[in-house]
Chain A
Amino acid sequence: RKEVEQDPGPFNVPEGATVAFNCTYSNSASQSFFWYRQDCRKEPKLLMSVYSSGNEDGRFTAQLNRASQYISLLIRDSKLSDSATYLCVATSGGYQKVTFGIGTKLQVIP
């Protein structure tokens, strides 16, 4: 079982829709969590960190559920420019080893 699991998708949604992705992690000692965005043939870029209390950045909301060991990303009012792969990241271990999920591909359709 992979340490960080995501549904690879693709998720095809119309413009303006709300879409949610989940990511589960197996290491209960994981301490920090992130969502990165990766455009096709580009490098990953940080979208947002995920805090225990949940956090929001414009149309994006991230949540952490430690009891069930998952994090989520909610995108409201989807834009064409949101089309990308969204990578879930968990860090754990003494120095906080970094583990990426496979990524969830989102395609926003006009």
Chain B
Amino acid sequence: GAGVSQSPRYKVAKRGQDVALRCDPISGHVSLFWYQQALGQGPEFLTYFQNEAQLDKSGLPSDRFFAERPEGSVSTLKIQRTQQEDSAVYLCASSWEGTTNEQFFGPGTRLTVL
């Protein structure tokens, strides 16, 4: 069956460029999460959606980061004016509902900012 997919899998951006990362959750999953994982670290929470509602964006590191899920399915994480410290793997996860259920992760997008 189809799992969570993310695209692109790899992205190289020049400092100052804008990037958009896409996540396709498992069909029917209500909850969607974005995480940032730096090398040697655990995933750091960025933001959480329940359907199209963004219930928590407290983990977004700055106002350069923006996420949306307009129709309650596909989600996009946008980073404006990328900086070198934005280099990381960006993971998307989805679950049936809420945060007490198993989260299914996508393969991640590895972003490198030069």
* Chain B residues numbered 75-102 whose CB sits less than 8 Å from any CB in chain A: 91, 98-100, 102
Nearest Cβ on chain B to A2's Cβ, whole angstroms: 9
Q: How far is the CA of A96 from the CA of B107 in the complex (A)?
A: 24
Q: In the complex the two chains form, is A97's CB within 8 Å of B99's CB?
A: yes
Chain B residue nearest to A104 (CB atoms) is B42
Q: Mark A82-94, 1 if CB is under 8 A from B, else 0.
A: 0000010001000
Which of A12-20, A38-46, A55-63, A69-77 forms contacts with chain B?
A: A38-46
Nearest Cβ on chain B to A40's Cβ, whole angstroms: 11
Q: Taking A43-B105, A46-B102, A91-B100 as contacts, is the C-beta distance between A98 and B42 under 8 angstroms?
A: no
Q: Taking A32-B99, A87-B42, A95-B48 as contacts, is the C-beta distance between A42 and B107 under 8 angstroms?
A: yes
Q: How far is the CA of A31 from the CA of B98 in the complex (A)?
A: 13
Chain A residue nearest to B41 (CB atoms) is A102
Query: What residues on B are CB-neighbors of A49 within 8 Å?
Result: 102
Q: In the complex the two chains form, is B42's CB within 8 Å of A91's CB?
A: no
Chain B residue nearest to A99 (CB atoms) is B45
Query: What residues on B are CB-neighbors of A99 within 8 Å?
Result: 45
Interface secondary structure of A, over-half rule: strand
Q: How far is the CA of A100 from the CA of B42 in the complex (A)?
A: 6
Q: Taking A42-B107, A97-B56 as contacts, is the C-beta distance between A102 and B99 under 8 angstroms?
A: no
A side interface size, CB within 8 A: 23
Q: How far is the CA of A103 from the CA of B106 in the complex (A)?
A: 18
Nearest Cβ on chain A to B83's Cβ, whole angstroms: 23
Q: Taking A43-B108, A44-B105 as contacts, is the C-beta distance between A95 and B98 under 8 angstroms?
A: yes
Query: What residues on B are CB-neighbors of A46 within 8 Å?
Result: 102-103
Query: What residues on B are CB-neighbors of A42 within 8 Å?
Result: 107
What are 6 A-B contacts with C-beta separation under 8 Å? A31-B100, A32-B100, A44-B43, A45-B105, A95-B99, A100-B35
Chain B interface (Cβ < 8 Å from any Cβ of A): 33, 35, 40-45, 48, 50, 55-56, 58, 91, 98-100, 102-103, 105-108
Chain A interface (Cβ < 8 Å from any Cβ of B): 4, 6, 8, 31-32, 34, 42-46, 49, 87, 91, 95-103
